[in-house]
C-alpha cells in the first residue's frame, strides 16, 4: 500500500511540475482580501545524496544547510514567483523515510549554485527510484 501511495504522490508532483501550477487565488490571499497570486513548482532532475549541501539563498555561502540523510527527490515551490524580494517558498524532500516540507523565503542553493532561478523547463523522468542510502 505504501508503494501505491508513493507512486500516486510522484505522479501528482510530476503533473504539477509539467503544468507549472498556476493558481488564480490562494486561500491566504482571499482571506486577507489580497490580490490573486501564482505558484510555480519545480522538480530537480537528479537525486540528492547526503554529500549534497542544500540551503535557501540569497547568499551562496550556505551557512545554514538543510540536512539530507540519504537519497532524496527535491521539489521546490515558489509561492510568489513574480516577487523579486524575500517571499514564501517551500522545499520538499522525498526519501524512503517519507516527505519533509521545509519553509523558506528565498530560492534554493545546491552545492554553491542557485537552483531554478532561470525559470526554464527541465525534463524529469518519473518514477525516481530511491534506495534509502
123 in a structural domain: no
Q: For the chain, what is the domain count?
A: 1
14 in a structural domain: yes
86 in a structural domain: yes
Q: How confident is the model at residue 119 (pLDDT cuts 50, 70, 90)?
A: low
130 in a structural domain: no
Query: Model-level pTM greater than 0.75?
Result: no
* Residue 37 domain boundaries: 2-114
Q: What is the pLDDT of residue 20?
A: 43
9 in a structural domain: yes
62 in a structural domain: yes
Three-state SS for the chain is: CHHHHHHHHHHHHHHHHHHCCCCCCCHHHHHCCCCCCCCEEEECCCCECCCCCEEECCCCCCCCCECCCCCEEEEEEECCCCCCCCCCEEEEEEECCEEEEEEECCCEEECCEECCCCCCCCCCCCCCCCCCC
102 in a structural domain: yes
Give the separation between CA 114 and CA 54, rounded to whole angstroms: 10
pLDDT in tens, 35-94: 546 788 899 999 999 999 999 988 777 778 999 999 999 999 988 888 878 889 999 999
Give the separation between CA 43 and CA 83, rounded to whole angstroms: 20
128 in a structural domain: no
Amino acid at each position: 500500500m505504501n508503494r501505491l501511495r508513493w507512486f500516486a504522490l510522484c505522479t501528482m508532483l510530476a503533473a504539477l511540475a509539467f503544468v507549472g501550477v498556476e493558481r488564480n487565488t490562494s486561500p491566504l490571499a482571499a482571506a486577507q482580501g489580497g490580490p490573486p497570486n501564482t505558484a510555480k513548482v519545480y522538480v530537480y532532475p537528479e537525486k540528492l545524496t547526503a554529500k549534497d549541501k542544500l540551503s535557501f539563498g540569497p547568499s551562496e555561502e550556505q551557512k545554514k544547510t538543510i540536512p539530507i540523510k540519504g537519497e532524496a527527490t527535491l521539489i521546490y515551490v515558489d509561492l510568489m514567483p513574480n516577487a523579486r524580494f524575500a517571499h514564501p517558498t517551500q522545499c520538499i524532500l522525498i526519501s524512503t523515510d517519507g516527505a519533509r516540507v521545509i519553509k523558506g523565503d528565498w530560492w534554493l542553493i545546491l552545492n554553491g549554485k542557485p537552483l531554478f532561478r532561470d525559470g526554464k523547463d527541465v525534463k524529469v523522468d518519473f518514477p525516481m527510484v530511491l534506495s534509502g542510502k
